[in-house]
A and B are shown apart, each in its own frame.
Chain A
Amino acid sequence: MTFAFTDEQLALAQTVRDVLRAHCPPAALRSERRPAWEQLAGIGFFGLLLPPDADGLGLRLVDAVAALEETGLACLPGPVVETAVAAPYLLDDVAKLASGSVCVSVLLPGQAYAPDADLADLLVVARADGLHLVSRESVRLAPRPGADPCRRLFDVSFDESVLLDRSYVPALRRATVATAAQLIGVARHLLSVTVAYAGVRSQFGAAIGSFQAVKHQLADVAIALDFAAPLVYRAALSVDRPVPEADRDVSAAKAAAGEAAALAARVALQVHGAIGYTDELDLRFWLGRVWSLSAAYGGSAVHRARVRASVIGGDLRRYP
C-alpha cells in the first residue's frame, strides 16, 4: 500500500501549477473568462482522462486528482471540470476534445444550473428521458445570479438535441470528486494567504497571528483540510476501481471537502477583517469559489444525507 501520490502524479500537478502561476495570475480573474485554457491544452490537460484512441493519455482519476487540486488553488475559472473530467465519460467521437478546442458544460442530476454554459460549444443536459447533447446553436441560456463572479450559472433550454445512450453516473461521480479536489485546493490557498496576512498585520504592537484566538482558528482549518483531503483521494480510487461503495465514498469526500473549505473561507474572512470584505482584495475570488463549488454537484447537506442513508443502512464496508 502506498497511500501517497507517485512521482508522476506529483510531476503532473507541478506542471499544472507552473502553467497556472504563469497564465492564471489573480489579475486574470478580473479580466478573463478562460485564462490559461490554451496553455493547459498545450500540456494535454484536457486529454488526461481520455483513452489513447481519442488522443488522450488514458489516465485514471487518481492520477489527475493532485493536478485538479492545483486548478482550485489558482482559482482557475472556466468549465474545467466539465470539459476535462465529465466530458470524457459523456461524449464519444468528439474530435478535438483532447486538444481543448471544444469547451463543454454539463447539467446533470443534482445540479440546478449549468456552469459557464455561455462558453460551451457543447452541453450535456440530463432530462427525464435521458441525456441530451445540445450544440451551442440550439441552446437558450438564461443567466442566474450566483456567489462566484468567475463561475457563472445558466438556466438551460433547447429545442434540438441528440439523445446519448449512456449513463451519466461515471461522469457525475468523477466531476463530484474533481470538484472536491478543487475545493481542497481553494481552501489551501485561503489558509496560506491568511497565515501570511496574520503574520504581518500588527495590532496592539504584535502580529495578530501571535494571538491564540487567531492561531487556534487557523489550526482548526489546517486540521479540517488535512483530514478531508484523504477522503477525496480515496474517493478517486473508489471510482476508478469502482468499488461497490463508490457513491458513498464520493459523497463523503464532497461533504468533507465542502465543509473544510467553508471553514477555511469563514476563518480567512474573519482573520482578514474588513479588508477581506472588499471587492478590491483578491481574496474575494477564492471566497466566492468556495461558495460556488461547495454547492456544485450536490451541496454538503445532500451528500451528508447520502452518507447517512448508506452507513445507517448498514453499508460499513471499508476500502481497503
Chain B
Amino acid sequence: MDLDFSAAEQDFRAEVRDWLARHVPDGLPSMDTLEGFAAHRAWEARLASARLSAVSWPQEYGGRNASLIEWLIFEEEYWAAGAPGRVTQNGVFLLAPTLMAYGTEEQRRRWLPGMAKADQVWAQAWSEPEAGSDLAALKSRATRVEGGWRLYGQKTWSSRAAYASHGFGLFRTSDEGRHRGLTYFMFPLDEVTVRPIAQLDGLPGFAELFFDGVFVSDSMVLGAPGEGWRIAMATTSSERGLALRSPGRFLATADRLVHLARDASPELADRAARCWTDAEAYRLHTFATAHRLMSGAEIGSASSMGKVFWSELDLRMHTLAMELLGERAGETPWLDGFLFALAGPIYAGTNEIQRNIIAERVLGLPR
C-alpha cells in the first residue's frame, strides 16, 4: 500500500496545471442560457484542442489514453483551477463509456470525436412522468419500421435538453418483461418536441421531451435490442460514470469552504474542517477504487456508497457556506453551487434507492 504518484503522473499534473493557468476563462454565463451554452461549447472546443476534454479516451477519439489515476489528477487540477462546469458531462461521462463498452466501431467513430469537441452536446433521457426511482416502469416505446425505429412517448427531467443537439435513453421495444423489453437509443433532438423546464434557479437546466413517431435508423441503437436495461445499468456504475464522481470537484469546494470559515465560530469552523476531511476520505476511497478497477475488478453495487457519500458531502459543504455567507450568498457562486448540490441526492438514483441497493446487494439484507 502506498500513495505515491509516479514521475509521469507528476509531469502530467504539471502540464495540466500549466495549461489551465493560462487558459481558464473568468466566470462564464450559466450553461442554461443560450449565450452561456455557446460559451461553454467554445470552452470545450478549446479544451479539446489541447486533448484535455476527455483525457481517458483513446487518442483516435480525441483523448490521450490517460489512466484512471491520471484522470483523477486531471479532475483535481481542473476544479482547483476554477474551470467551468462541463456542458458535455452527460455525453462524456455517461454515454461515452457506454459507447466504448457496447457500441460498434462505426458508432464510436461517428460520435465520440464530435462529443469531445462539443460539436454535439448530449442530453440524458431516463426519467418519465411515471418512472423516476422505478425507472423500469418506463412506457416510452420504439416500434420497428423499415430501416429503423419510430419513437413514441414522453421523457422528463432531461438535463441539458433545452439546448442540446442529441439525446440518449431507454425505450420499450417488447413486452417480455419490465427489464427485458428495453432498448438503448440515441436520437437527434431536432424532431423531438422539447419543452424546457425552469429549475430552482429559474433557468431551463432540464426539459420535457415528446416523441411523436420520431424516426431513428438502426445505427442509433446502442447494443442489441432488448439489452438496454443491462447496458444502462452497467455504465451507471462504470468508472467514469456519475457513480464515481471525481473527487477533484469536492476537494476544490472544501478548500474554498475552509477559506470561507477561517474567521467563523469554533462550531462552524468544526463543520468546515469535517467537510474538508470528508473530501479527503472521498479522494482516498477513490484511489482505492481506481486500483481495483485497474486490476480488472468491477465496482458494481458498491458504487452506491460513493454516490450517497459525495452527494451528501457536497450538500453539507454548500449548506454551511450559505450559513456562513447569510444574505451575501447570492453575490457569490455559492448560491448556484448550493442549488446544484441540492439536486445531488436526487439525480443518478435517489439516495433512498442507493441505500436500498447498499443494504440488499452489498450487505445482503432481504429484499
Contact = CB atoms under 8 A, between A and B. Distances in A.
A210 B266 contact: no
A108 to B, nearest CB: 24
Contacts, number: 147
Contact of B291 (A3, A210, A214): A3
A209 B356 CA distance: 11
Contacts of B274: 304, 307
Given A2-B2, A312-B258, A227 B355 contact: no
A226 B358 CA distance: 12
B234 interface: no
Contacts of A195: 363-365
A67 interface: no
A233 B284 contact: yes
A3 B365 contact: no
A316 B276 contact: yes
B360 A215 contact: yes
Contacts of A231: 277, 280-281, 284
A307 B273 contact: yes
B270 interface: yes
B309 interface: yes
Contacts of B355: 212, 215-216, 219-220
Interface string A288-320: 000000000000000011011001101010111
Contact of A207 (B270, B362, B363, B366): B366
Interface stretch (A4-12, A97-105, A272-280): A4-12
B359 A218 contact: yes
Nearest to B258: A311
B352 interface: yes
A208 to B, nearest CB: 9
Interface in B270-290: 270, 272-274, 276-278, 280-285, 287-288, 290
Contact of A1 (B4, B277, B309, B358): B4
A286 B167 CA distance: 52
B1 A3 contact: yes
B205 to A, nearest CB: 28
Nearest to A200: B366
B309 A227 contact: yes
A157 B9 CA distance: 54
Nearest to B274: A304
B281 A228 contact: yes
B2 A222 contact: no
A304 B278 CA distance: 12
Interface string B323-367: 000000000000000000000000000001011101110111111
* Interface size range of chain B in the complex: 35 or more
B3 interface: yes
Given A195-B364, A230-B288, A320-B3, A216 B352 contact: yes
Contacts of B6: 1
Contacts of B218: none
B271 to A, nearest CB: 9
B308 interface: yes
Interface string A254-271: 011000000000000000
B185 to A, nearest CB: 33
B245 to A, nearest CB: 14
A230 B2 contact: no
A131 to B, nearest CB: 30
Interface string B164-199: 000000000000000000000000000000000000
B123 interface: no
B277 A316 contact: no
B4 A223 contact: no
Given A2-B2, A226-B305, A316 B258 contact: yes
A209 B360 CA distance: 9
A62 interface: yes
Interface in A189-214: 191, 195, 198-199, 206-207, 209-210, 212, 214
B19 interface: no
A173 interface: no
Nearest to A243: B3
B281 A237 contact: no
A28 to B, nearest CB: 28
Nearest to A192: B363
B292 interface: yes
B262 interface: yes
Contact of B288 (A4, A212, A215): A4
Contacts of B305: 222-223, 226-227
A234 interface: yes
A199 B360 CA distance: 11
A69 to B, nearest CB: 13
A20 interface: no
B69 interface: yes
B272 A4 contact: no
16 contacts: A1-B9, A3-B291, A195-B364, A216-B355, A223-B305, A223-B358, A226-B285, A227-B281, A234-B284, A237-B2, A237-B3, A311-B276, A312-B261, A312-B262, A316-B255, A319-B3
Given A216-B352, A227-B309, 17 more contacts: A2-B291, A3-B284, A199-B364, A207-B366, A209-B366, A212-B356, A214-B365, A216-B355, A219-B308, A219-B355, A220-B355, A230-B288, A234-B280, A308-B270, A316-B258, A318-B280, A319-B3
